[in-house]
Amino acid sequence: MSEAGTGAQGVPEASESMTLEDAQRIIRELRKENADRRVKAKEAETRLQEREQQDMAAKQEWEKLASQYKSELDAVKSRASVADELEADMRETLEAQIKALPRQFQSSIPDLGSPARTLKWLNANRHLFQLPTPPQTNAGEQGDRGPAPLSDDMKTLAAGLGISAEKMAEYARRKS
């Protein structure tokens, strides 16, 4: 059979008579073409399933990461809340300690950016902000506590002289 007498895909034109071999050849070609299409469709379906599985795995991974990050964020928020409370407590403590200083020193305390650093600095330098204790001008008296107690030597001397410790203390007070 000549090529001129065949139509598309080697199918004989209607004017020609078709032989059994032509029909079998056409059937083989159609079967081969159909098999190729089924193979390609199966490959496409397999690729699509693989892609869907990859997408689901990625989605599960993202969900897992999102859950992990959410729990970490919750922990950080909890710690931040505790840190805020501690900072407020330190700020109150710092303010109370500054108010306890002599008035002339209160404005001398530097702001170091955080109450913790300022408290640490204040504790290290507290000695600089204390007024010296004035010397005792009356060595026998101790403020409101009355006369100074007698030493053991003075008590022994009073006993040796045959006088009471109170009389000895009164004598020592008059002499000073």
**Using CA atoms, how far apart are residues 136 and 147, in angstroms rounded to an integer?**
13
The tokens describing 17, both together, are 């008579």
Does residue 75 lie in a domain region? yes
Does residue 163 lie in a domain region? no
Per-residue confidence of the chain (176 residues) as pLDDT tens digits? 444 445 555 555 554 688 999 999 999 999 999 999 999 999 999 999 999 999 999 999 999 999 999 999 999 999 999 999 999 999 999 999 899 888 888 888 899 999 999 999 998 988 888 777 776 666 555 555 555 677 888 888 888 878 888 888 887 777 76
Does residue 149 lie in a domain region? no
Does residue 148 lie in a domain region? no
Identify the CA nearest to 129 among candidates 156, 102, 164: 102
Does residue 166 lie in a domain region? no
Residue 3 is predicted with a pLDDT of 46
Count structural domains, the chain: 1
Does residue 78 lie in a domain region? yes
Sign of CA dihedral 117, 120, 124, 130: positive
Does residue 63 lie in a domain region? yes
Q: What is the CA radius of gyration of the chain?
A: 53
Domain carrying residue 75: 16-91
Residue 88 is predicted with a pLDDT of 93
Does residue 74 lie in a domain region? yes
Residue 24 is predicted with a pLDDT of 93
Residue 155 is predicted with a pLDDT of 83
Which residues, in sequence order, are CB contacts of 26 under 8 Å at separation 6+?
A: 9, 10, 11
